[in-house]
Structure 1
Amino acid sequence: MLPYPALHASHGGIWVATPDGEVRGISRGEAIRLAADTPTLVLNAPLVAQRLGYAELSGLDLLELFAFLRPARFMVPTPKGLAAVTGLPVPESDAAVAPFLRDAAAALLAVMEGEWPEREGAWHAAQSLFRLRWTWAPAVTQRLAKPERAERWLFSKLPEWEERAPRPAPRTIAVDGADVVARLDALTGAGAERRHGQRTYAAAAADAFAPRVVRDSPNLVLAEAGTGIGKTLGYLAPASLWSERAGGAVWVSTYTKALQRQLAREGERLFPDEEERKRRIVTRKGRENYVCLLNLEDALQGGFAGRAAILAQLVARWAAYTADGDMVGGDLPGWLPTLFRRNGSTALTDRRGECIYAGCPHYRKCFIERAARASADADLVIANHALVMVNAARGRESATRPTRYVFDEGHHLFDAADAMFSAALTGAEAIELRRWVLGPEAKARGRRRGLAARLSDVASYDDGGAEAIAAAVNAAQALPSDGWLGRINEGAPFGPVETLLAAVRGLVYARAPDAGEAGYGLETELAEPDPGLVDAAGPASAALEALLRPLLALGRRLESVLAEAPDWMDAPARARIEGAIASLGWRAETVGAWLALIARIGGPNDPDYVDWLAVDRVEGREYDVGLHRHWLDPSRPFADTVLKPAHGALVTSATLKAGGDWSVAEARAGAPHLERAPARFEAASPFDYAGQAEVVIVTDVKRGDLAALANAYARLIAAAGGGTLGLFTAIRRLRAVHARIADRLARDGLPLLAQHVDPIDTGTLVDIFRDDSRASLIGTDALRDGVDVPGDSLRLVAMEGVPWPKPTVLHAARRLAGGGSAYDDRIVRARLAQAFGRLIRRADDRGMFVLLSAAMPSRLLTAFPEGTPVLRTTLDEAVERASRLSLARPLGHEAATA
């Protein structure tokens, strides 16, 4: 056993277990003194620090030890989760957690004494961590004997990907409906119940895989299928059948990481053999999700300092055992980066488009390149909406672009397209471009490399390339630099772009209406600009044009280098130049969009776009200023870029019509911009909502009364015994409610997790919530769609009010074009339907949906499934009904008669 005390802090109290076996409750002040003076065992140090109000807490965190010992393995970061991985009994109370942590630490350290699959590389990593003064290093190095053979360095043992011949174009085949149903039966299993809705859904989805008959107009199928239909296997049946017979890849695109993980699990039905499954099903994400080996090497060799350097060593341990190198939603524990306050994990990925491709010494081992090549030969590629659009708009893989798509969670396509095809000339975006061109300035740390460092060798094939780089570097000096926001606030901008941003800020503060949520962002239309903004536009435009010209010239120079193909141009060098051309094209496209946005100042309005000025703030602190442009209808560029080149696409969701009719679904999916009309399919959920669920509208919680709102949440959660998902429309109110009720609930043994409060990533919060049926979770929009918690862990969903859309400039323009109040109603219905959809996920689920708003209009009740009982009542009655959730009897029959 370690000679250290263990400390546990929750909303219910603070306990310490000493090495001599004493366990006692202590005060916050005593706990802080103990943690400051003595090495202390803790579980999730940032969370304990928050509970103590002691930000400087540093102890021996068992999560860090687990990450070192079991890289690329999953653990729920709670005492229950720790018990599961150590084989120890789950502590029965908060007071029992502190001694349990000492036992768990001993059990984890004992892993090194037996059969240990992750032993390779541990000794070398432990020595490095010892030099970095990692708190666990002494205990680990004492138990780790030096291996008899020298351990292979991470970058030497990672496998290399191989070049393969280009994949032939898919064959033209028709998918027969009977064959699709037979494939579905094979996927569901011989003993499975044959669901009529799933079979008709699969047959309808097969139309998306028929041969295309009209150029630039795919076979588009819109399918709304309620929860429980079995959409995933329903579309995997025709997709896998078409891929098998046509020899092409089907891209299945999702919006949430939870659905990506579900799809990966369902892949086991298609290909039970693990090795075959890895070849046939590939998950693709954006470059910023994968660890960059060059950045990691730099971090390991001194590019990081302090705690960030320790994180780099733990990530290196993970990189040696990871399945795919995905740091966001992959097998890197989501809680690991959050243990390090400055979250250095972002510096280990390529977030700025600085990849040098074949110029990188680790190019042949790169996780990103491996995933790209694997997807070219896969049957199914699991991606997300953003990546699909980015690849279609500016991807390097034009020769292997998919011809068939499945867009699951299709109700999010409009929002994903809105983000993808927008433009923002802000200080944060402009300084990123400056860094991309110039590289590190002054005393900047890290591997960041400028345009000259990345491309001077390949661009110097003649004088034209070198001159273009020099011109770009010179022009980038006009972009905002470090400290730009402070200079703008002080009225002393430097350079033409900073001067433009200062004029934007001044006009926003002069015209923006007083925000209802004080301290949050401000915005105003880009209309009737004042003379200061007009005067600033000209010099800023000239500065950006001076940057755009050499970027375009450099791109043309590199294209000519490819065309002339000198003797040294092997395949890796060609790939490097192709990547540089794509990166330059992306940046040039961005600058071009900025110029178009500046031209709008004092110029005519373009009816296809919505333009506005904004000052972004968080709790009164400004963090960005700029001009913004969005498409009024982003489904138009989506249709042009993604749908028209495709041969077939299925867009599916449980709430595809967004609370409206089929015209709404078609408009948001881009169908009006295609020559051929889409096919439609609709199937209601098979669940018995009348017996499994009910909607309760509470009429006596006054809007704006935080004390009453907090009391309502506390009473409902306590009555239900936990298992509650609470949804808020504002972070400020969420935090205020959490502060009022967390301790109260903890005393009753009901943990309360909170997004935007607990220093834990959202995915891990959901994992903890799913793992504990007495826990509750409160959060904002991200939890309205991304939570899939079937069973007893989620039995009550509570919303603080009607989720009206925020009255932004963009929303006002779309509201005017979309039918006024009817447009608002469609948005609210969709949000209510998505929130209600969290409640009943399988046939044996039961639950209650509570809306804490007397102002709920009856016209919006169609958001809920037909037959769902709806009751308007007082909070007391709602609490009484919530208390029945633990009773084994159907809900709804009493509400129906109330």
Structure 2
Amino acid sequence: MVPALPHPALHASHAGIWVAEGGATREVSRGEAIRIAAETPVIVLNAPLTGQRLGYAELSGLDLLELFAFMHPARFAVPTPGGLARALGMDAPESDADVAAFLLAATERLLATPEGEWPEREGAWTAAQSLFRLRWPWGPLVHHVVSRPQANEKWLFSKLPEWEETAPRPAPRAVAVEPGDAEARLLTLTGRGAEQRPGQRAYAAAAAQAFAPRTGRDAPNLVLAEAGTGIGKTLGYLAPASLWAEKAGGAVWVSTFTKALQRQLGAETARLFPDPAVRRTRVVTRKGRENYLCLLNLEDALQGGFQGRAAVLAHLVARWAAYTADGDMVGGDLPGWLPTLFRRNAPAALTDRRGECVYAGCPHYRRCFIERAARASAEADLVIANHALVMVNAARGRESATRPTRYVFDEGHHLHDAADAMFSVHLTGAETIELRRWVLGPESTGRGRRRGLAARLSDVASYDEEGGRAIADAVEAARALAGDGWLGRLAEGQPFGPIEALLAAVRGLAFARAEGGDDAGYGLETELAEPDGALLEAAGPAAHALDALLRPMVALGRRLEAVLAEAPDWMDAPARARVEGAIASLSWRAEMVGGWLALLARVGGPADPDFVDWLSVDRVEGREFDVGLHRHWLDPTRPFAETVLKPAHGVLVTSATLTGGGDWETAEARVGAPHLGRAPTRFEAASPFDYPNQAQVLVVTDVKRGDLPALANAYARLIVAAEGGTLGLFTAIRRLRAVHGRIADRLAREGLALHAQHVDPIDTGTLVDIFRDDPHASLLGTDALRDGVDVPGHSLRLVVMEGVPWPKPTVLHAARKLAGGGSAYDDRIVRARLAQAFGRLIRRADDRGVFVLLSAAVPSRLLDAFPPGVAVRRVTLDEAVASVGARLSSGLGMGQGAGELTGES
């Protein structure tokens, strides 16, 4: 029986604050709400968000989201009153004033869960006892309703299945996929009664060329395919990819840039393999190690490694781990809102972010989510991955025995940026202290399972004298790296050791040369050119210290390889796997230190035309968080082509905006095609949408740049006119926050919810879920929302950009602009960004929308970024508000009454 609830419920929004207790609801002031919350535990929905709205950061209570995560682990719910109501099969509250009473009813419904059929019952009693001892606010109530199991139950570590070793997969056969066969498979996937899409059929036939046998070394069959929104490119490339996988007996790796597309791909593969059990073996999603739950870290957290609220999170994650499909904590079936309810670093401590995995030395190795995914992908037909993982695996030689020969890069317009991040070098304080911790292990008395290099390889050191000596030398050399408190010592002018002395010199030169301007208090950077005496003097000892670390790391790697070759008696298969893992970790860290040394050689030496080098002080709102030297390739597609494209046999690069901002030559350059021995095949299919009638572009001419009150007023009026459904895009976080602070209460009085990235304590993916779920909500955000939002239908009907998205004038951008044609280079970037932002608006044939650009200074030459025929008008704000209200409320065709835009600004 559910006990009577002894706690009131509290709901706070921008429209007001309400408390429900004893069958009655009353509106209260902020001061009274804080007093109530301070005196007695209250039931809330999303405590961090409620506390932020109250201005009471210390708010704690009984968070319904935590109770939902306990009762229904690995189950999705939008973290709003309406979303929770749908997840629980309840009626959603009609207004903000009804929410507090709803929270009490939802609490009763959740606490009644154990009385009925409860698929997640196993393990609940054990978890409830632990959470009760941790003084979890829900502990007494949950302890009362969850009964002891009648028999011993399997839970978590004994419940998770073990993976099994399999024989190596033979190399794929040399087969071709005929265009007609690809079109036939596409017909099977879409269904014979589906709408016929000639563009999609042509796309599938063109994509099939990427799966033909390769005819020359370093000359893969590269197909570049631009397919406008609505073509159906996902099924278009899955058709030939699945055919090739069946006929060749190999795996096709489908790589994306955003987690949203990964999820979409996983859903689309149900058409290929309707049976979920079959689909799990034929389709595998892969991500980097840092995305997956580490069972050893979780065990340590459950056994006392975490304290307080972090320990509560560990037990809720343990509940989820017993029911998760794949152990993915970032973008998988762990609710994205759950970690945000707890302190920020607790979730990271449950994954392997530091490369400390002991592989076969781990007691949970046979149940490891990461190892299971790696082995499953070796046998799969389709592996859904991301650009970063594909590049890491190729660059570091990971899983070389099962290296893919066929790739599909969806969201291909992001390949340049992904390669830029992957192949760059950063000699910073944060990077060096992370390496120090990896080598030395914990240097304080803090609890936790973190181990240094010596502890992880203690048996090797005892077996091999030379290896033991290399470990000792590496440990001693690592003490020269930046240590705890390095930022404070730099600020005080008292660096310790050669690396901190180098960072101090970098910091001094950056402050001396960098121009803060309007960005005072934010990051500083300056070219690594004509270094001063202090930097020259510090570079030599720093290079010597890094060389002293690199030598024993390389020597240790060689000794470990020798240990494998000699195969001592004690080395069984698990021990061999652990040594192989250690070799891989040492290899990429040695490569990183080698990159640092190459960067230091640039100090005082000649510039390398292939690279762009600079110094930086990274700051957020005046607070420094990192200092260092940076090196990026001028053209990062060169290493991408060498490590990924050339070894492949066939590659399809596709996107709706592959040539966005330029032409085919530009698109080829952005994906590395010029570095190959064979010219790519080009394919283009225009979107089937009727953009002239579905969309309109308005350029508002009377909102002065830099006038924050006017900017906020424009956003508020446009959102009210559209009755919500607005995606607001900003190029600066400061302006986003300022606008949100000015208009959130105003919109709430109109009954329109406003959410914001970098303001609400909610992860970006969940913010998009909330936005998609409520047609009257609006969402403000930055670049991540410009490129990664898929919200079809009425929930997104207006996109507002604060101004022309010019690239930030960084050192790296300046070098690439000089090499890429000057102002034409900037124009290409802006066109691509405008095209991507506009692409958020129309996602299906029945969508209608307006795109508003709040900038008078929009050169006409940039407006060809929008689809041909779309009406573009320069208007005043009053005219824009009237047009948005009329068109989005009346459903008029978007092409009616539109004037032509002429002239150059």
TM class by shorter-chain length?
over 0.9
Q: Superposition pairs for residues 23-34 of structure 1, below 5 Å?
A: 23-34=25-36
* 1:186 pairs with 2:194: no
Render the CA deviation track for 1:105-158: whole Å, top value 9, x for unaligned.
Answer: 000110011111101000010000011000001000111111111232421111
Distance 2:165 2:516 in 1: 58
Match of 2:125 among 117, 123, 132: 123
SS class of match (2:148): coil
The code of the aligned residue for 1:10 comes to S
Q: Structure 1 vs Structure 2: percent identity of aligned residues?
A: 79
Question: Which residues of 2 match residues 354-753 of structure 1 at below 5 A?
Answer: 354-753=356-755
1:172 alignment counterpart: 174
Does the CA contact (< 8 Å) of 1:424 and 1:629 recur in 2? yes
The corresponding residue for 1:807 is: 809
Contact 1:639 1:674 in 2 (8 A): yes
RMSD: 0.8
Residue 4 of structure 1 aligns with an amino acid whose one-letter code is H
- The one of 2, 7, 16 aligned to 1:4: 7
2 CA distance for matches of 1:897 and 1:389? 45
AA aligned to 1:565 is A
- Distance apart, 1:445 and its partner CA: 2.9
The amino acid of 2:895's aligned partner reads G
User: Please, which moves more after superposition, 263-272 or 657-666?
Assistant: 657-666
Q: 2:819 is matched with which residue?
A: 817
Q: Distance between the aligned counterparts of 1:532 and 1:807, measured in 2?
A: 27
Query: Where does residue 338 of structure 1 map in the other structure?
Result: 340
Give the whole-Å Cα distance in 2 for the aligned partners of 1:790 and 1:557. 56
**SS of residue matched to 1:548:** helix
- Aligned position for 1:35: 37
State the shift of 1:319 in Å.
0.3
Residues 546/880 of structure 1: CA separation in 2 closer, same or farther (3 Å cut): same
- Conserved in 1, the CA contact under 8 Å of 2:873 and 2:900? no
Q: Distance in 2 between matches of 1:588 and 1:154?
A: 37
Distance 1:153 1:453 in 2: 30
Q: Separation in 1 of the partners of 2:418 and 2:58? A: 39
Contact 1:611 1:629 in 2 (8 A): yes
1:301 maps to a residue whose letter is: Q
Partner of 1:140: 142
Instruction: Report the Cα distance in structure 2 between the residues aligned to 1:301 and 1:339, rounded to whole angstroms.
Output: 21
- 1:381, CA displacement in angstroms? 0.1
- Matched residues in 2 for 1:148 and 1:384: separation? 45
CA offsets 1:304-340 (integer angstroms, 9 cap, x no match): 0000000000000000000000000000000000000
Residues 681-728 of structure 1: CA deviation (Å, up to 9, x unaligned): 011111000000000000000000000000000000000000000000
User: After alignment, is 887-896 or 822-831 more displaced?
Assistant: 887-896
**2:164 aligns to what?**
162
* Residue identity in the other structure for 2:453: L
Q: Deviations over 1:533-552 (max 9, x none)?
A: 00000100000000000000
Task: Describe the SS at the equivalent of 2:509.
Answer: helix
User: Which residue number corresponds to residue 251 of structure 2?
Assistant: 249
Q: Counterparts in 2 of 1:776-855, with a 5 A limit?
A: 776-855=778-857
Letter in 2 for 1:858: S
For 1:153 and 1:751, the matched residues in 2 are separated by: 41
Structure 1 counterpart of 2:117, which letter? E
- Number of the residue aligned with 1:79: 81
8 Å Cα contact 1:459-1:558 kept in structure 2: no
Match of 2:19 in 1: 16
- Distance in 2, Cα, partners of 1:88 & 1:395: 52
Tell me which amino acid in the other structure corresponds to 1:642: V
Task: Describe the SS at the equivalent of 1:894.
Answer: coil
Could you tell which deviates more after superposition, 151-160 or 90-99?
Answer: 151-160
Deviation at 1:391, TM superposition (A): 0.4
Matched, 1:890 2:890: no
CA shift for structure 1 position 870: 0.4
Distance 2:445 2:37 in 1: 34
Alpha-carbon separation, structure 2, partners of 1:810 and 1:334 = 33
Paired with 2:630 and 2:815, the residues of 1 have a C-alpha distance of: 14
Secondary structure at the aligned position of 1:513 is classed as: coil
| Contact 2:798 2:841 (8 Å CA) reproduced | yes
Per the alignment, residue 49 of structure 2 pairs with 47
Aligned-pair distance for 1:444?
2.9
- Counterpart of 1:88? 90
Instruction: Write the distance in 2 (CA, Å) between the matches of 1:442 and 1:87.
Output: 50
Query: Among residues 57, 60, 65, which one is paired with 2:59 in the alignment?
Result: 57
Distance (Å, rounded) in 2 between the aligned partners of 1:518 and 1:878: 34
User: What is the CA distance between 1:569 and its match in structure 2?
Assistant: 2.6
Preserved contact between residue 515 and residue 522 of structure 1 (Cα < 8 Å): no
Structure 2 residue 219 is the aligned partner of structure 1 residue 203: no
- Secondary structure of the 1:893 match is coil
Amino acid at match of 2:870: T
Displacement of 1:459: 4.0
Counterpart of 1:478 in structure 2: which amino acid? A
More deviation in 75-84 or 882-891? 882-891
Supply the distance in 2 between the matched residues of 1:545 and 1:658 (Cα, whole angstroms). Answer: 44
Unaligned stretches of 5+ residues in structure 2: none
SS of 2:270's partner is: helix
AA partner of residue 147 (structure 2): A
Q: CA deviation at 1:740?
A: 0.1
- Could you state the TM-score of these two structures normalised by the residue count of structure 1? 0.99
Distance across 2 between alignment mates of 1:514 and 1:480: 27
TM-score of the superposed pair, with normalisation by structure 2: 0.99
| Aligned 8 A contact 1:124 1:151 in 2 | no
Aligned to 1:276: 278
The whole-number CA distance in structure 2 between the counterparts of 1:469 and 1:537 is: 25
Worse overlay, 765-774 or 876-885: 876-885
> How much does 1:672 deviate?
0.6
Structure 2 distance, partners of 1:69, 1:515, is 52
Residue pair 1:700, 1:874 contacting (<8 A) in 2 also: yes
Secondary structure of 2:851's partner? strand
Q: Following the alignment from structure 1 to structure 2, what is the Cα–Cα distance between the partners of residues 623 and 78?
A: 34
One-letter amino acid of the structure 2 residue matched with residue 104 of structure 1 = A
Task: Note the residue ranges of structure 1 that are not aligned, 5 or more in a row.
Answer: none
Q: Secondary structure at the match of 1:348?
A: coil
Partner secondary structure for residue 516 of structure 1: helix
**1:74·1:331 contact (CA, 8 Å) conserved in 2?**
yes
Q: Following the alignment from structure 2 to structure 1, what is the Cα–Cα distance between the partners of residues 228 and 237?
A: 14
Q: Which residue of 1 aligns with 2:111?
A: 109
Q: How many residues align?
A: 897
Q: Tell me the distance in 1 between the aligned counterparts of 2:69 and 2:586.
A: 38
Pairwise CA distance, 1:343? 4.0
Deviation at 1:85, TM superposition (A): 1.6
Residue 652 of structure 1 aligns to a residue whose secondary structure is strand
CA deviation profile, 1:4-54 (whole Å, cap 9, x unmatched): 100000000000001x11211100010000001111000000000000010
Contact residue 134 and residue 310 of structure 1 kept, 8 A: yes
- Look up the SS of the partner of 1:323 in the other structure: coil
Find the aligned partners of 2:565 and 2:336 in 1 and give their Cα distance: 45
| Alpha carbons 1:14, 1:31 under 8 Å: kept | yes
Residue 657 of structure 1 and its aligned partner are, at CA, apart by 1.2
Q: Aligned partners of 1:640, 1:461: CA distance in 2, in Å?
A: 39
CA distance in 1, matches of 2:639, 2:367: 35
Tell me whether 1:236 sits opposite 2:238 in the alignment. Answer: yes
Structure 2 residue matching 1:128: 3-state secondary structure: helix
